A and B are shown apart, each in its own frame.
Chain A
């Protein structure tokens, strides 16, 4: 019996010997070459530009070093990250359950779906003054801005993920008499995880933008303050330092989330495979 099954699995896999022998470049090397080319071109052409209108990598590196040794960079980063993570984590903690409920229950979808769809397109910058009136100029309003920007992509992705869960998997739960909430937690949630993680990734970018907006429009602080102050002093090289740090942070968070996804949902990568040209 089990022999039959073994034969079946063996024959279903394509024979590895027949595949053309091809040496593939490692992904990190391709990325490294791409980044080096970009930095090289920027360095060559950036040098010729008036330093007020633009900058170039080596000048930015010098500015970075100066900010670092003066201790300003660490202080600004620390100040920025607190509202960032508070708002971002709050968006995950509330956005995922909200998306699950909206996707699973048609009453919730009809009652709340419209706000989530509208909220995603909300021109938040325009609402910041109002948020300041409600929450003041400090920590709270920054958390609120980051939260509002990150919530909707997480919620919408979760919602779409729930809608895409195969009906038969839900019926498995039903036929074993699982209560609605158990179906939601033990079937819908794990089946939706890839969508949730995609939403969580999209939200990183929006949360970073939201953080800078908040620092521009409320109490000027953190990395946003470094950007504004150096821009006002026509110190373009220094202005680029926090911008690049924020982009690097987003890349780091994305790979962290990717790692979390592979850890909590290893079956997904195993099913989908990573075999691409």
Chain B
């Protein structure tokens, strides 16, 4: 119900910088496999291709070569088997919170009472029942992103793809949303692939961390922390957290694989 496989995925861009054509190898033969129900973080310096990998998996950008499989089916464009959470939530400003969640469901063909009930159920899941009538500009950054998560979850995709979902939030809001995401995952069993540049976030949330550099998979680390991780404050205090965080930090800074 949510297995994602990257098979030799490459992606080349051409961009024109001051009249000169540059070729950018955003992804270079990327291979990895994400199991059903697993949480995987993509981390790496900016321009390493982590967001491109996510967009290719979503079907927003086509790969130049290679294939992405979701539950064995090759990705050609977007599909309801994947739900996307955008970096800045990207809610439609003319719709209120409930209508924004309903939008995704309507695109899936849901109508009538079922549509409203489902949207309300998912807003409740992210704790926004009381704010469902508010428009995006009347919501705080954290609330917006929760609506974004509810919108993606509501269509009941096997895989949730998140592009730096908490990157634009303040530290306190980010921490509570990280805990909430783990909680939601425990309740729904979704596969989650998320892009982040925050080492703490990657270690706190993910089961495995894919370190990317220059379009390649540099290393894949398993986080030696069991789930459920109820108290993230306590997780931060464990030696496993510090150890894993340090390993990734070293890999990002001198490129040396430390195991």
A residues adjacent to B (C-beta < 8 A): 1-2, 4-6, 8-9, 12, 168-169, 171-178, 182, 186-187, 190-191, 265, 267, 270-271
| Cβ–Cβ contact A190 & B92, under 8 A | yes
| Cβ–Cβ contact B103 & A4, under 8 A | no
Q: How far, in angstroms, from A135 to B138 measured CA to CA in the complex? A: 53
| Cβ–Cβ contact B140 & A5, under 8 A | yes
| Cβ–Cβ contact A1 & B107, under 8 A | no
- The contact of B79 among A4, A177, A190, A191, by CB within 8 Å, is A177
B69 on interface, CB distance cutoff 8 Å: no
| Cβ–Cβ contact B142 & A8, under 8 A | yes
| Cβ–Cβ contact B94 & A182, under 8 A | no
> Which stretch from B172-180, B185-193, B240-248 is at the chain A interface?
B172-180
| Cβ–Cβ contact A186 & B103, under 8 A | yes
With A8-B173, A168-B90, A271-B137 in contact, is A176–B60 under 8 Å at CB? no
B residues adjacent to A (C-beta < 8 A): 58-60, 77-80, 82-84, 86, 88, 90, 92-94, 103-104, 107-108, 127-128, 130-131, 135, 137-143, 155, 170, 172-173, 176, 180
| Cβ–Cβ contact B143 & A5, under 8 A | yes
Instruction: Give the 9 A-B residue pairs with the shortest CB-CB distance, closest first.
Output: A176-B107, A175-B84, A8-B140, A5-B140, A176-B104, A190-B94, A178-B107, A168-B90, A175-B78
Find chain B residues with CB under 8 A from A186 CB.
Answer: 92, 103
| Cβ–Cβ contact B143 & A168, under 8 A | no
- The contact of B137 among A6, A265, A270, by CB within 8 Å, is A270
Q: How far, in angstroms, from A169 to B92 measured CA to CA in the complex? A: 7
Chain A residue nearest in CB terms to B61: A171
| Cβ–Cβ contact A8 & B92, under 8 A | no
**Closest approach, in angstroms, between the C-beta of B56 and any C-beta of chain A?**
13
Chain A residue nearest in CB terms to B128: A2
Find chain A residues with CB under 8 A from B104 CB.
Answer: 176
| Cβ–Cβ contact A176 & B140, under 8 A | no
With A175-B84, A186-B103 in contact, is A4–B58 under 8 Å at CB? no
Q: How far, in angstroms, from A174 to B62 measured CA to CA in the complex? A: 13
- The contact of A171 among B60, B94, B140, by CB within 8 Å, is B60
Report how many A-B pairs have Cβ atoms within 8 Å.
Answer: 80
Find chain B residues with CB under 8 A from A175 CB.
Answer: 58-60, 78, 82-84
| Cβ–Cβ contact A270 & B176, under 8 A | no
With A171-B60, A271-B137 in contact, is A182–B107 under 8 Å at CB? yes
With A2-B127, A169-B90, A176-B155 in contact, is A270–B135 under 8 Å at CB? yes
Instruction: List 5 extra interface pairs beyond A2-B131, A8-B170, A267-B94, CB under 8 A.
Output: A1-B127, A8-B173, A175-B58, A177-B80, A191-B93
Residue among A8, A169, A186, A265 with the highest chain B CB neighbour number at 10 A: A8
**Closest approach, in angstroms, between the C-beta of A8 and any C-beta of chain B?**
4
Residue among A174, A176, A178 with the highest chain B CB neighbour number at 10 A: A176
**Closest approach, in angstroms, between the C-beta of A72 and any C-beta of chain B?**
47
| Cβ–Cβ contact B86 & A172, under 8 A | yes
**Closest approach, in angstroms, between the C-beta of B67 and any C-beta of chain A?**
19
Q: How far, in angstroms, from A194 to B63 measured CA to CA in the complex? A: 36
| Cβ–Cβ contact B108 & A176, under 8 A | yes
Residue among A4, A5, A8, A265 with the highest chain B CB neighbour number at 10 A: A5
**Closest approach, in angstroms, between the C-beta of B238 and any C-beta of chain A?**
25
| Cβ–Cβ contact B137 & A8, under 8 A | no
Find chain B residues with CB under 8 A from A271 CB.
Answer: 93, 137
Find chain B residues with CB under 8 A from A177 CB.
Answer: 77-80, 107-108
- Please name 14 pairs of A and B residues whose Cβ atoms are closer than 8 Å in the assembled complex, sorted by A: A1-B127, A1-B180, A2-B130, A4-B142, A8-B142, A12-B140, A172-B86, A172-B90, A174-B60, A177-B80, A177-B107, A177-B108, A187-B92, A190-B92
Chain A residue nearest in CB terms to B96: A267
Q: How far, in angstroms, from A186 to B100 measured CA to CA in the complex? A: 11
**Closest approach, in angstroms, between the C-beta of A195 and any C-beta of chain B?**
14
| Cβ–Cβ contact B137 & A267, under 8 A | yes
Find chain A residues with CB under 8 A from B135 CB.
Answer: 267, 270
**Closest approach, in angstroms, between the C-beta of B53 and any C-beta of chain A?**
15
| Cβ–Cβ contact A4 & B90, under 8 A | no
Find chain A residues with CB under 8 A from B131 CB.
Answer: 2
Find chain B residues with CB under 8 A from A168 CB.
Answer: 86, 88, 90
Q: How far, in angstroms, from A4 to B172 measured CA to CA in the complex? A: 8
**Closest approach, in angstroms, between the C-beta of B148 and any C-beta of chain A?**
9
| Cβ–Cβ contact A176 & B141, under 8 A | no
**Closest approach, in angstroms, between the C-beta of A171 and any C-beta of chain B?**
6
Q: How far, in angstroms, from A190 to B136 measured CA to CA in the complex? A: 15
Chain B residue nearest in CB terms to A166: B90
Chain B residue nearest in CB terms to A272: B137
